Amino acid sequence: MVTPAACREAVAHLRGVFAMSERRACRVAEVDRSSVRYRRRRPDDALLRERLKALAAQRRRFGYRRLWVLLRREGHAVNKKRVYRLYRQERLMVRRRGGRKRAVGTRAPMPVPSGPNRRWSLDFVHDQITDGRRFRILAVVDDGTRECLALVADTSISGRRVARELDRIVARRGPPGGIVSDNGTELTSNARPRTRSWAGRTGRRSPGTTSRPANRCRTPSSKASTGGCATSC
C-alpha cells in the first residue's frame, strides 16, 4: 500500500469485513487517520479542460507549456502542473514528425559499358589493423572490363593523392569517358575540389557531377572487387 487511495481501501476493508473501529483499522494498516478522513477538494476542471482542448485544436504544434501561456493570457489562474495533468489525460501530446519521405521503388541499375575506358568507378574501403590503427584503400575499377586499375592503401588519402593516382592511371591507359562514385565522405568533402580540378585538366566528368547516394548499383564493379580486399589485407 503506497498511495493514499490504497490505504483508504484497506481501512475500509478492515472495517467492513472484521467490524473494526476506524482507530484500530488505521493502527493495523499503519495509516494516519487524517489520510483516511481526507476528502478531495479539487475544483471542477470541466471548463478548463474544454478550453485546453479548443486551444490544442487551433494550435496543433503547441505543447502544454505554450498552451499554458495562452491560458494565462486569457485570465485562467492555473499552474503548469495542472495543465500538464489535463494535457496528458486528454491525450493532446504533439506527435513527433516522421522522417524524410524517400522515393518508393528500386533504382534502375546503370548500364554496363561495352568497352574499356568508357567508365571508371571509385570507392574507398576502410579497415583496422590489430594495433588499432585505421587505414583505407582507394579502389579504381574499369566498369567495362571489370579490371582493377588501382588499389592504393594508406592511413590517410587526401584529395591531392586521389588526383595524383588518377593521373598515373591516365598516363598508362588514357583518360576515361567518365568517372562515377558514391556520396561517401571521402569524395564529398576535401577530395571533391581536387577531383574536380583534375577533371577540368583532363576534360573528364568528375565524381561530384555523377554521384548518387551510396549503393551497389551505383558502383558495382568497385564494390565487388573490394568486397574481400580489406579482409585479405
Provide the pLDDT for residue 103: 61
Q: Are 92 and 112 in contact (CB under 8 A)?
A: no
Strand ranges inside 62-154, DSSP E: 120-128, 134-142, 147-154
Q: Which of 76-80, 108-112, 204-208 has the least mean pLDDT?
A: 204-208
Question: Averaged over 131-151, what is the pLDDT?
Answer: 89
Question: Averaged over 154-158, what is the pLDDT?
Answer: 86
What contacts 70, CB < 8 A, 6 or more positions away? 55, 59, 62
| 218 band by pLDDT with thresholds 50, 70 and 90 | very low
DSSP reduced 3-state for 231: helix
Q: Is the pLDDT of residue 222 over 60?
A: no
Question: Averaged over 183-207, what is the pLDDT?
Answer: 54
pLDDT in tens, 17-72: 999 999 999 999 888 999 888 887 777 889 999 999 999 999 988 999 999 999 99
Highest mean pLDDT among 67-81, 108-122, 208-222: 67-81
Q: Is the pLDDT of residue 211 over 60?
A: no
Q: Is the pLDDT of residue 187 over 90?
A: no
Provide the pLDDT for residue 112: 84
DSSP for residue 212 = B
Q: How far apart are CA 158 and CA 160, in angstroms?
A: 5
Q: Is the pLDDT of residue 99 over 50?
A: yes
Strand-by-strand arrangement of the 120-128 sheet: 147-154, 134-142, 120-128, 179-181
Q: How far apart are CA 118 and CA 147, in angstroms?
A: 12
**Burial class (CB within 10 angstroms; exposed 0-12, middle 13-18, buried 19+) of 152:** middle
Mean pLDDT, the chain, as a whole number?
79
C-alpha cell at 52: 485546453
As a whole number of Å, the CA-based R_g of the chain is 35
| 2 band by pLDDT with thresholds 50, 70 and 90 | confident
The whole model's pTM is what? 0.44
Q: Are 36 and 26 in contact (CB under 8 A)?
A: yes
Provide the pLDDT for residue 16: 92
Locus of grid cell 551510396: 214
DSSP per-residue codes, 117-134:
TS-EEEEEEEEE-TTS-E
DSSP for residue 138 = E
Provide the pLDDT for residue 221: 52
